[in-house]
């Protein structure tokens, strides 16, 4: 790339040249990116910034919150609430939706986020990230402005108008889709701006790499066990090739690897919590990642259906996730039907 293209310019071109996004959405994405930049600075300071360790609280999912879970959540809210683009926000770290306060202008978008993904990696200096998803507030009757409610958020992933994540690793990289493929932007710390470093991201259809928490093997369902068993048999088994395993335990970092060089990522349902469909959250983890993966030519299912088709019943709904290289995801999904 001879000339550097900033995120701002990319978004302006998406609006003006390609007609993909209205200016309100463009400005909203600029604000999300700014918030990610500021989370990235906090992450980088680590122990020097006093941001490591746990807080004395639990979130609605019963997880002990880390200080950085709370800091990232606050940064995203403070950055986004006054801009006039949003009606409300929802987050892993908040029990219910956060309506934009009356003192600020109301917009037509809904923003969902996992403010800090990979919490267990914060204190050990391993890649973590922020995941976000943008929906439009449904407006049945344009003559009256109705108060925003949780029901407005309960839209299938295929309704998303923008989705992305920012990974805080050796580099800070923002990955975005507005429905026109996937683009990656690297944070230039001297300039303080995100610069386009890859466009038209494509996930290879085949792979020899899988990502799953193997310690849960004894709890998995038969189709997932069968798939991994066959991978582990390598060249001598039915797959006729050796597989490699990578597992970072930050969904952002695992998905980033898959967008970069292919692979399959799974967090399947397991027997430990039979009543929960899975561990990962549908609306602010699985949906944005599934759209990115599909936009890059990959696939994403819960073993039985396309994740983007699932009609959510509640904000913090969980889901089983199988995503990445198309042929592998189709294979695992077929094993569920067998």
Residue ranges for the known binding site are: 92, 114, 116-120, 213, 279, 285
Considering only CA atoms, which of 209, 202, 210, 213 is closest in space to residue 293?
202
- Residue with smaller CB distance to ligand AHG, 100 or 166: 166
Annotated binding site for substrate: 117-120, 213, 279
Q: Which residue is nearest to Mn ion (CB)?
A: 117
Considering only CA atoms, which of 81, 80, 238, 258 is closest in space to residue 167?
258
- Shortest approach of ligand AHG to residue 70 CB, angstroms? 13
- Residue with smaller CB distance to ligand AHG, 63 or 74: 63
Q: For residue 57, what are the CA distances in angstroms to 39, 60, 63, 67?
A: 20, 10, 8, 9
Q: Which residues pair with 60 in a beta bridge?
A: none
Q: Which does 305 bind (CB under 5 to 8 A by kind): ligand AHG, Mn ion, none?
A: none
- Residue with smaller CB distance to ligand AHG, 250 or 295: 250
Are the C-beta atoms of residues 319 and 302 closer than 8 Å to each other? yes
Which residue ranges make up the site for ligand AHG (CB under 6 A)?
63, 92, 114, 117-120, 213, 249-251, 267
Q: How many CB atoms lie within 10 A of CB 150?
A: 12
Which residue ranges make up the site for Mn ion (CB under 5 A)?
63, 92, 114, 116-117, 119
Please report where in the chains the tokens 């991994």 appear, as a residue.
Answer: 228
Q: Which does 129 bind (CB under 5 to 8 A by kind): Mn ion, ligand AHG, none?
A: none
- Residue with smaller CB distance to Mn ion, 62 or 101: 62
Q: Which does 107 bind (CB under 5 to 8 A by kind): ligand AHG, Mn ion, none?
A: none
Detail the DSSP E strand segments found in the chain: 54-58, 64-66, 86-91, 98-99, 109-117, 128-136, 162-168, 172-177, 183-188, 193-198, 209-211, 244-245, 264-267, 280-281, 299-301, 318-319, 321-324
- Shortest approach of Mn ion to residue 143 CB, angstroms? 39
- Residue with smaller CB distance to ligand AHG, 81 or 114: 114
Q: Which does 249 bind (CB under 5 to 8 A by kind): ligand AHG, Mn ion, none?
A: ligand AHG
Annotated binding site for Mg(2+): 92, 114, 116-117, 285
């Amino acid at each position: 790339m001879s000339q550097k293209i900033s995120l701002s310019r990319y978004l302006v071109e998406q609006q003006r040249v390609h007609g993909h996004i209205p200016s309100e959405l463009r400005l909203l994405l600029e604000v999300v990116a700014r918030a990610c930049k500021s989370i990235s600075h906090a992450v980088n300071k680590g122990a020097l910034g006093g941001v490591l360790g746990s807080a004395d609280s639990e979130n609605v999912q019963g997880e002990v919150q880390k200080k950085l879970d709370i800091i990232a959540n606050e940064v995203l809210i403070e950055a986004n609430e006054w801009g006039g683009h949003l009606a409300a926000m929802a987050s892993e770290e908040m029990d219910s939706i956060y309506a934009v306060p009356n003192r600020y202008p109301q917009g037509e978008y809904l923003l969902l986020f996992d403010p800090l993904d990979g919490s267990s990696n914060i204190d050990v200096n391993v890649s973590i990230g922020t995941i976000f998803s943008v929906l439009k507030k449904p407006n049945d009757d344009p003559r009256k402005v109705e108060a925003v409610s949780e029901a407005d958020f309960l839209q299938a992933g295929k309704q998303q108008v923008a989705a992305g994540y920012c990974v805080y690793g050796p580099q800070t990289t923002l990955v975005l889709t507005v429905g026109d493929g996937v683009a990656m932007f690297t944070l230039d710390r001297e300039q303080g701006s995100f610069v386009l470093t890859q466009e038209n991201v494509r996930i290879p259809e085949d792979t020899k790499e899988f990502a799953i928490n193997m310690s849960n093997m004894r709890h998995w369902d038969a189709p997932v066990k069968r798939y991994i068993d066959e991978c582990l048999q390598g060249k001598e088994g039915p797959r006729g090739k050796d597989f490699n395993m990578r597992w970072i335990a930050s969904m952002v970092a695992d998905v980033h690897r898959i967008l970069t060089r292919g692979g399959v990522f799974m967090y399947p349902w397991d027997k430990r919590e039979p009543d929960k469909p899975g561990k990962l959250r549908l609306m602010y983890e699985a949906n944005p990642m599934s759209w990115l993966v599909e936009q890059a030519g990959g696939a994403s299912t819960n073993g039985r259906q396309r994740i983007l088709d699932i009609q959510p019943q509640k904000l913090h709904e969980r889901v089983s996730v199988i995503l990445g290289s198309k042929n592998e995801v189709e294979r695992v999904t077929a094993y569920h039907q067998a």
